[in-house]
Each structure stands twice: as structure tokens, then as C-alpha cells.
């Protein structure tokens, strides 16, 4: 860089001006309410006119790579002296719009700034978020570990229990993640991070986000939390001290069910004694430019565009879905053929008060607990199968987080492979139904459930 040409200097100056402008715009967006941020993101009128052919929504840039003006711009981009997108595995303009809006929504109402990285799936987001935290395995005979709530998504369980173990990273499970002392018991000098999910399925588990974050920070390690089912419209864990939030955008955020994608959002200056200050300053940006480009699990721009559209109405949808779920849960609670209903919104749920502390519709005082629940039907396993077989509108699918109501029997689907012993430990009887309540009129959802229960 000794004899940098004037042209090169000009590119760098221009880039710095762009960066400053973008920062100012983001700062302005941060002063708006949640819905305004969700609707507009960082796609300004000026941006639309200059970069989007005037279109009112973010353009979808399908190109695999960008073209450069000349050799100086080529070099400046490749050296990361100026921020350009280069190649869609590394960065893509449409994906960037989504990353920026997600970072604003997850830090909404806080002084924090954050950076988001979008990925090809939720699992890829989890893997990319945690990989660098365990990357520097010290000596051969040493191992590192992390501590995780046992109640997590099945695919994440597999990633932790099988894939991480294969490479010498152990996971210490916390069976009662709502009890903070259970976490501390599992932390030792080789613990790299804490991991939780809230709310989790099918047993509706939740944790004391602030307490777990404080504990992690006491040991100078980060707290990573999957808040896929809450979405930033109901809970923003960074506000309570979490360092990194992960999402399967495939699920509740992409509620209509037409794309697979994920994201992780790291606040700036995460707590982590194993990383350099330089990396901690903007962990997600570093992951994106270095380890993520080498993993290749990038998001497709069409998926990014799709998630941008879904986000605009996120709060309204989550409010409605939570209300529907509450109505269904109350109906089930009083039904003579139902033994038990597990929904965080019900007063009688032992974790209700803990969930209440963290989950509300953003910009209101309204409680809201999302749309997932489980319930146990009285009688034998065959009776529960009969219930499922008689549903007329509710779809049988292992999916969740949808605008269409979905139901399954976990014991014969999502939790089949772990066997009866493990199911017993996890509290999943053969008579349990997992129900994800959709956006249909709740009267119709309830009558479908009622007629199927009548058939038993």
C-alpha cells in the first residue's frame, strides 16, 4: 500500500463516506418504532433511487459476483479496504438488507449495536455462530466444552451431541435450565460458551435469560440463545445481556413456509476471554468476512427477499398467532379428554411467571407466548393416534412456526429415534400432541380439535 494511487485513495474516501452515511441512516432508523423498522429496514428512498431502479422494495441481486471499475477497485475490494459484496458466497446486496434489518430489530429498545449474518439454514447459523468459539482447541490431550440446555431443537441436539463430539468438543447438558444453579455446576475452566433456547419445544421450556447471561459473563464467556419461536417481536435477548442470538428464519419469521434460512446476530463487544479485542468488537462481521466465507453456507438472495417481506408484518402476525394459541390452550385446558396442556401462557404453567418476565408484544404491555404448545390426551397411545387421524383442517407435519396449524405426535416422529428411555427422561409420553397454532380463525381450529377429540 506504499504507493497508493490517487484513484485508489479516492475509492477509499468514497467508501468511507458511504459507510458514514449508512451509519447515520441506521442511527435514524434506530430512533423509530419496531414496526417502522420492520417495514422499511435500511432501504431508504435515496437508496431506492440510486441503487434499486426506484423500486419500492429491496432489489433482488441474483448475480454471483460484482463487476469492478478498474484494477484499483478490484484490489481495494479483495483486500477488504472498501466494503463491497465481491461474490455472493461472501456477501450479497439483498442479503445485506436483511442482515441490517435483523440487527436493528434484535437490538430494538437498547443502546447496543449488533451485526447479523444470514445463512443457508438455521442449523448453519448455529454452527457458524459457535464454531469460532471452540475453534482454538489448545493441546491434543485437552478438550473444550460448552454448556447447553437439554431442551433444544432436535437438529441442534444432533449437532451438539454427535458432530461437536466427533471433533473433541464436549457438551454439558443442563436438565433444568430454569434453575440457574444447574448451569453453574456444569461450568469449568474449559467451558467456552453457554447455550439455550427459548421457548423450546415440545415441552415449552424457558430460562432466566438475564441470569444465564450474567453467569456467562462472570466466567467471561458468551451466552448464545436461539429465539426462533419468540422472534424479536416478542423477545429480544440482547436487551437482557445475551451476546449472540440465533434464528431459524425458516420457522416463525418465515411463517408462510416457502424458504429455508437462518441468521445469527451478535452484539458489538461480546464477552469472550478466548477472542482478541479486535474480533470481539464486531464478532459477526469478522465471522462473515473470514470463517463464514470458508464454510460456504450462504443465504440465497431470493430467500433474503422473501424473509424481508415476511418481517414487515412480523409483530401483527405474532400478536395474532399468540392470541389464537392462548384461546386454543384455554379450550384444551378445560376439555375432559385432555390430561395436561403445556403452554407458557397459561397461569398454571410452572414457568409462566418466568416467561412473563421476558415475553410481550413489542411496543405494548401485552403478554404473548408464541404459537407452539403441547398437550397430553387421556387414554392409550392409540387414542392419541385416533385424534391425529381425525383432524380435518390441521395439517400433520413435523414442521412448526407456520401460518397453518400443524400437529404431530412427537413420540412417533421428531422424538422417535431417541427411543422410549430418552423420551421418558425428556417427559415426552406416547400420548402427547405437539400443536403449532396457525392464523386460521381460532373458532375453526378449536372445532377441528373438538370433533377429533369426540372421535376417541
Residues at the contact surface with ligand PLP, assessed by CB under 6 A: 121-123, 153, 155-156, 197, 226, 228-229, 248, 250-251, 260, 262
C-alpha cell at 273: 476471554
What is the DSSP track for 298-347?
BPPHHHHHHHHHHHHTHHHHHHHHHHHHHHHHHHHHT-TTEEEEE-TTST
Quote the least distance from Cβ 109 to ligand PLP, whole Å.
Answer: 23
CB of 179 to ligand PLP, least distance (A): 21
Q: How far is the CB of 254 from ligand PLP (least distance, A)?
A: 9
Nearer of residues 123 and 341 to ligand PLP, judged by Cβ: 123
Q: Which is nearer to ligand PLP, 103 or 231 (CB)?
A: 231
CA–CA separation, 48 vs 72, rounded Å?
27
Count of beta carbons in the 10 Å neighbourhood of residue 326: 20
Question: Do residues 261 and 250 touch, judged by C-beta distance below 8 A?
Answer: yes
Least gap, CB of 401 to ligand PLP (angstroms): 7
Considering beta carbons, is residue 262 or 345 the nearer one to ligand PLP? 262
Which residue number, 42 or 437, has a Cβ lying nearer to ligand PLP? 437
The 8-class DSSP code of residue 224 comes to E
Q: What is the nearest approach in angstroms of ligand PLP to the Cβ of residue 428?
A: 16
Residue 101 or 149: the one with the smaller Cβ distance to ligand PLP is 149
96 or 121: CB nearest ligand PLP: 121
Q: Which is nearer to ligand PLP, 187 or 368 (CB)?
A: 368
For residues 28 and 23, what is the distance between their CA atoms, to the nearest angstrom? 9
Q: Cβ of residue 229: shortest distance to ligand PLP, in angstroms?
A: 6
Q: How far is the CB of 129 from ligand PLP (least distance, A)?
A: 11
Nearer to ligand PLP, 86 or 123 (CB): 123
Phi and psi for 116 in degrees, rounded to 5? Answer: -110, 150
In whole angstroms, the minimum distance from the beta carbon of 156 to ligand PLP comes to 6
> 393 near 407, Cβ under 8 Å?
no
DSSP per-residue string spanning 185-211: HT--TTEEEEEEESSBTTTTB---HHH
Contacts of 81-87 spanning 24+ positions with Cβ under 8 A: 81/12, 81/15, 82/11, 82/12, 82/14, 82/15, 83/15, 83/18, 83/19, 85/61
> Which of 231, 234, 196 minimizes the C-alpha distance to 215?
196
Rounded Cα–Cα distance for residues 220 and 214 (Å) = 9
Which residue number is nearest to ligand PLP in terms of Cβ?
Answer: 122
Amino acid at each position: 500500500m506504499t504507493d497508493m494511487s490517487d484513484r485508489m485513495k479516492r475509492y477509499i474516501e468514497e467508501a468511507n463516506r458511504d459507510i458514514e452515511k449508512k451509519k447515520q441512516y441506521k442511527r435514524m432508523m434506530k430512533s423509530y418504532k419496531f414496526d417502522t423498522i420492520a417495514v422499511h429496514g435500511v432501504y431508504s428512498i435515496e437508496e431506492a433511487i440510486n441503487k434499486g431502479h426506484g423500486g419500492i422494495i429491496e432489489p433482488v441481486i441474483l448475480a454471483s459476483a460484482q463487476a469492478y471499475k478498474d484494477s484499483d477497485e478490484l484490489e481495494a475490494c479483495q483486500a477488504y479496504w472498501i466494503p463491497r459484496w465481491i461474490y455472493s458466497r461472501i456477501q450479497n446486496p439483498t442479503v445485506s438488507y436483511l442482515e441490517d434489518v435483523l440487527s436493528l430489530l434484535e437490538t430494538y429498545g437498547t443502546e447496543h449495536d449488533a451485526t447479523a449474518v444470514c445463512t443457508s439454514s438455521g442449523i448453519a447459523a448455529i454452527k457458524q455462530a459457535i464454531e469460532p468459539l471452540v475453534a482454538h482447541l489448545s493441546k491434543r490431550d485437552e478438550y473444550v466444552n460448552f454448556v447447553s440446555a437439554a431442551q433444544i431443537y432436535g437438529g441442534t441436539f444432533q449437532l451438539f451431541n454427535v458432530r461437536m463430539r466427533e471433533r473433541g468438543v464436549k457438551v454439558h447438558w443442563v436438565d433444568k435450565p430454569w434453575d440457574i444453579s444447574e448451569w453453574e455446576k456444569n461450568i469449568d475452566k474449559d467451558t467456552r460458551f453457554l447455550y439455550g433456547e427459548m421457548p423450546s419445544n415440545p415441552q415449552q421450556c424457558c430460562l432466566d435469560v438475564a441470569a444465564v447471561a450474567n453467569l456467562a459473563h462472570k466466567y467471561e464467556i458468551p451466552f448464545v440463545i436461539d429465539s426462533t419461536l419468540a422472534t424479536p417481536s416478542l423477545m429480544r435477548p440482547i436487551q437482557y445481556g445475551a451476546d449472540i442470538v440465533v434464528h431459524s428464519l425458516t420457522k416463525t419469521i418465515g411463517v408462510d413456509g416457502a424458504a429455508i434460512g437462518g441468521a445469527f446476530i451478535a452484539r458489538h463487544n461480546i464477552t469472550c476471554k478466548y477472542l482478541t479485542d479486535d474480533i470481539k468488537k464486531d464478532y459477526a462481521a469478522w465471522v462473515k468476512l473470514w470463517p463464514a466465507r470458508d464454510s460456504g453456507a450462504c443465504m440465497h438472495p431470493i430467500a433474503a427477499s422473501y424473509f424481508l417481506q415476511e418481517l414487515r408484518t412480523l409483530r401483527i402476525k405474532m400478536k395474532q398467532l399468540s392470541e389464537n394459541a392462548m384461546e386454543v390452550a384455554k379450550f384444551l385446558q378445560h376439555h375432559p379428554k385432555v390430561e395436561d396442556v403445556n403452554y407458557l401462557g397459561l397461569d398454571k404453567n410452572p414457568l409462566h411467571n418466568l416467561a412473563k418476565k421476558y415475553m410481550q408484544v413489542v411496543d405494548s404491555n401485552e403478554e404473548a407466548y408464541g404459537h407452539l404448545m403441547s398437550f397430553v390426551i387421556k387414554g392409550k397411545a392409540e387414542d392419541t393416534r385416533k385424534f391425529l387421524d381425525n383432524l380435518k383442517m390441521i395439517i400433520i407435519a413435523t414442521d412448526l412456526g407456520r401460518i397453518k396449524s400443524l400437529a404431530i405426535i412427537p413420540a412417533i416422529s421428531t422424538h422417535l429415534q431417541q427411543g422410549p428411555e430418552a423420551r421418558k427422561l425428556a417427559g415426552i409420553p406416547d400420548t402427547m400432541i405437539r400443536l403449532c397454532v396457525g392464523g386460521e380463525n381460532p373458532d375453526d381450529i378449536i372445532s377441528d380439535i373438538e370433533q377429533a377429540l369426540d372421535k376417541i
